[in-house]
């Protein structure tokens, strides 16, 4: 005798949607570590380590800017940098019941991402030309500028760090807001790369893979820029 009873089908598990590729995640967590290390080494006066930590950040920023044009969908500036209209429209929907998390950076969060990247570029840019009062601690490009310019760059480099700290504080506050108030965990996907497809907009399959050669060009470009910064001043 056959058992005709059919058990109710259990709901299919929600597929995971890939949101962040490995390079975006790796750059992010390396930035977190190296910005902390740059601050700590500056505080402790370990300028040798500060120099190399800062130069690694230069390389990461070169890669991230390149990846903003050559990387997958959610890494691209053209996709997440939106005008004021889109930002206001997103903000007005934030507390509506049918609110769904964005696929990648939301238009408001993108403002914070761009501000942090610009502040980091200014921070390292000033550091490269900086020199302290006695000229003992100098960035690798300081030989190209006057003593006064290098000293001003050093002062601004120190002040700019406070702006960076404010932006990072806002960034972390926003992530805590989503976690506690909106009950949306943005940190998990920044670690694993994926989240439940049902909870977000965008294609269920998530981001499309990017050919390896594009990634390798980015790595080569970042290494070349850091190499030129370190090597060219020594050949003057
Ligand atoms: C995000 C990355 C960076 C952060 C957060 C950072 C932070 C700081 C801070 C807070 C100081 C002040 C230390 C003090 O006098 O109390 C400092 C000094 C300095 N930094 Fe950086 N820095 C970064 C990247 C760089 C880079 C890339 C270079 C160059 C390779 C550099 C070169 C210097 C130099 C030469 C000084 C001494 C300037 C002076 O005392 O006027 N920094 N940095
Ligand atoms: C030095 C501190 C930090 C810096 C400079 C920083 C910088 C950034 C940047 C540039 C992005 C954009 C990623 C990209 O598109 O490449 C980002 C995104 C993100 N960061 Fe940070 N971050 C910092 C600390 C943190 C911390 C401590 C957390 C966790 C609590 C965090 C969680 C995230 C998350 C979840 C995203 C993705 C947001 C989204 O879903 O749109 N960040 N961060």
pTM over 0.85: yes
Q: Distance (Å, rounded) from C-alpha 123 to C-alpha 127?
A: 6
Which residue is closest in CA terms to ligand 2's atom 22?
32
Q: Which residue of 190, 194, 202 sits with most ligand 2 atoms within 8 Å of its CB, as the best mutation to test the pocket?
A: 190
pLDDT of residue 8: 54
pLDDT of residue 10: 60
125 lines ligand 1 (CB under 6 A): no
Residues of the chain with pLDDT under 70: 1-14, 135, 199, 234-236
Which residue is closest in CA terms to ligand 2's atom 10?
113
Nearest ligand to the C-alpha of residue 150? 1
pLDDT in tens, 16-42: 899 999 999 999 999 999 999 999 999
> 28 C-alpha vs ligand 2 centroid, how far in Å?
6
Question: 194-196 and 16-18 as β-strands: parallel, antiparallel, unpaired?
Answer: antiparallel
pLDDT of residue 200: 72
Domains of the chain, earliest start first? 17-197+211-234 (1.20.950)
pLDDT of residue 202: 77
């Amino acid at each position: 005798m056959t058992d005709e009873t059919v058990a109710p089908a259990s709901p299919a598990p929600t597929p995971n949607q890939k949101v962040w590729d490995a390079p975006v995640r790796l750059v992010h967590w390396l930035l977190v570590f190296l910005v902390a290390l740059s601050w700590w080494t500056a505080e402790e006066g370990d300028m040798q380590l500060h120099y190399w930590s800062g130069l690694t950040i230069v390389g990461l920023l070169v890669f991230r800017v390149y990846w903003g044009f050559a990387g997958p969908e959610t890494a691209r500036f053209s996709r997440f940098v939106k005008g004021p209209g889109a930002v206001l429209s997103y903000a007005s929907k934030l507390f509506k019941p049918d609110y769904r998390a964005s696929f990648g950076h939301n238009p408001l969060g993108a403002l914070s991402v761009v501000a942090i990247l610009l502040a980091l570029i200014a921070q390292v840019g000033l550091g490269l030309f900086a020199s302290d009062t006695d000229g003992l601690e100098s960035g690798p490009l300081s030989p190209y500028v006057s003593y006064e310019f290098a000293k001003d760059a050093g002062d601004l480099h120190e002040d700019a760090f406070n702006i960076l700290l404010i932006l990072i504080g806002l960034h972390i506050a926003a992530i805590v807001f989503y976690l506690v108030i909106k009950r949306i965990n943005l940190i998990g996907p920044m670690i694993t790369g994926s989240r439940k497809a049902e909870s977000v907009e965008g294609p269920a399959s998530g981001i499309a893979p990017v050919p390896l050669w594009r990634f390798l060009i980015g790595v080569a470009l970042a290494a070349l820029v850091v190499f030129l910064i370190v090597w060219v001043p020594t050949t003057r």
